């Protein structure tokens, strides 16, 4: 009986000591780390979901994460971005690894955001639009140029060389002295998709059109030599696409839309551009989407109904942007 009481006493005392120890252990501190892309030891790259690719979904996805004292991501919740891209971003965030963080020598938990920027491969309409807009506005961003380059098959050496030449000219004297933003490496393990579209073979690397990082998308001014390169690239693409009337029509649609946006404040130039758009719509090949043809007609008719520069810009710019992103073929 005495031994039993002694054993119970020992258990009670042990439990009390453990409880006291637990109560005196300070809770793990949590700090905010802001955007965490550049702090990752290993930043996993999200896959590009087929459903998202099918609808040309892209843009930034912000994932709120919690990182424990060991540097492991224990919680990941997408708080913004296209719905079809969120799950893949959360999965990638959970697979990422960070160095342990300490504050005054004590391990801490970190909260912050990982930003994934999905850049879908450009259509020929979008390529024509960006090149035309760049020519007229004399400005171009690195991301736009990268997306154009990523849309070209490997065999299009002349076009890729023109883009490379243009890329080398984007930095002016001031920006040449600054280090360019460091981009996360592209995942080369994804399968390559190849397909023939009426004689033109396009090869798309699984994550070639995906950049998993955050960087400032700076717009660069273009000098006269850069504008010349853009015009040369437009000419090369016209020749390349001449074997496929649907793709050529798509490219020319983008060219006109780019000019229309850049010159929307000029009544005379708008009339010229709308006239070209109307003529293009009247010569639509049979393979062009009827919904696109209807939007072209709507844009032409609406431009004829506007009476002021402000009204024209307000009504036409949303339609131009919509047409730019529609699947033409």
**What is the per-residue pLDDT for 172?**
52
Q: pLDDT band for position 217 (50/70/90)?
A: low
Q: Are 78 and 45 in contact (CB under 8 A)?
A: no
pLDDT value, residue 206: 36
Per-residue pLDDT at 211: 38
Confidence grade of residue 177 (pLDDT, cut at 50, 70, 90):
very low
Q: What tokens does 126 get?
A: 């979008």
Supply φ then ψ for residue 8, to 5 degrees. -65, -40
Give residues with Cβ within 8 angstroms of 118, minimum separation 6: 46, 48, 52, 57, 58, 59, 60, 61, 82, 85, 210, 211
Question: Residue 104: is its pLDDT beyond 50?
Answer: yes
Residue 14 pLDDT class (50, 70, 90 cuts): low
Residue 121 has pLDDT above 90, yes or no: no
**Where do the structural domains in the chain lie, given as residue ranges?**
27-118, 124-181+216-325
Right CATH number for 27-118 from 3.30.2420.10, 1.10.10.10, 3.40.710.10, 3.30.530.20? 3.30.2420.10
pLDDT in tens, 71-96: 999 999 999 999 999 999 999 999 99
Mean pLDDT of 39-55: 87
Question: pLDDT per residue over 260-290, tens digit each?
Answer: 999 999 989 999 999 999 999 999 999 998 9
The pLDDT assigned to 105 comes to 82
Split at pLDDT 50, 70, 90, the class of 10 is low
Q: What angle do CA 76, 77, 81 make, to 5 degrees?
A: 125
Res 235 pLDDT > 80: yes
Q: Choose among 320, 323, 324: nearest CA to 264.
A: 320
What's the mean per-residue pLDDT of the chain? Answer: 80
How high is the pLDDT of residue 209? Answer: 40
Position with higher pLDDT, 326 vs 171: 326
Average pLDDT estimate for 247-259: 96
**C-alpha distances out from residue 188 to 146, 185, 210, Å:** 17, 9, 11
pTM for the model:
0.63
């Amino acid at each position: 009986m005495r031994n039993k009481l002694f054993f119970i006493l020992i258990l009670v005392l042990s439990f009390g000591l453990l409880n006291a120890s637990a109560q005196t252990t300070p809770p793990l501190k949590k700090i905010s780390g802001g955007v965490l892309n550049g702090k990752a030891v290993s930043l996993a790259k999200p896959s590009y979901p087929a459903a998202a690719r099918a609808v040309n979904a892209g843009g930034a996805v912000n994932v709120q994460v919690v990182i424990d004292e060991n540097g492991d991501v224990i919680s990941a919740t997408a708080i913004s971005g296209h719905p079809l891209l969120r799950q893949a971003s959360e999965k990638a965030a959970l697979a990422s690894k960070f160095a342990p963080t300490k504050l005054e020598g004590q391990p801490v938990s970190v909260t912050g955001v990982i930003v994934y920027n999905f850049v879908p491969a450009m259509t020929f309409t979008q390529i024509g639009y960006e090149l035309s807009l760049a020519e007229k506005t004399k400005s171009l961003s690195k991301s736009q140029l990268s997306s154009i380059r990523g849309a070209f098959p490997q065999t299009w050496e002349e076009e890729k060389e023109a883009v490379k030449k243009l890329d080398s000219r984007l930095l002016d004297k001031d920006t040449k002295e600054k280090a360019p933003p460091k981009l996360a490496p592209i995942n080369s393990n994804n399968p390559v998709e190849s397909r023939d579209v009426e004689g033109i073979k396009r090869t798309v690397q699984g994550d070639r059109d995906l950049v998993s990082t955050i960087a400032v998308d700076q717009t660069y001014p273009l000098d006269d030599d850069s504008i010349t390169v853009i015009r040369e690239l437009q000419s090369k693409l016209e020749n390349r696409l001449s074997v496929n009337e649907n793709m050529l029509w798509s490219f020319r649609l983008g060219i006109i839309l780019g000019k229309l946006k850049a010159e929307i404040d000029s009544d005379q130039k708008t009339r010229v551009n709308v006239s070209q758009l109307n003529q293009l719509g009247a010569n639509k090949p049979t393979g062009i989407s009827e919904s696109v043809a209807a939007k072209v007609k709507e844009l032409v008719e609406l431009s004829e109904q506007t009476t002021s520069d402000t009204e024209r810009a307000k009504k036409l710019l949303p339609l131009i942007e919509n047409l730019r992103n529609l699947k033409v073929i």
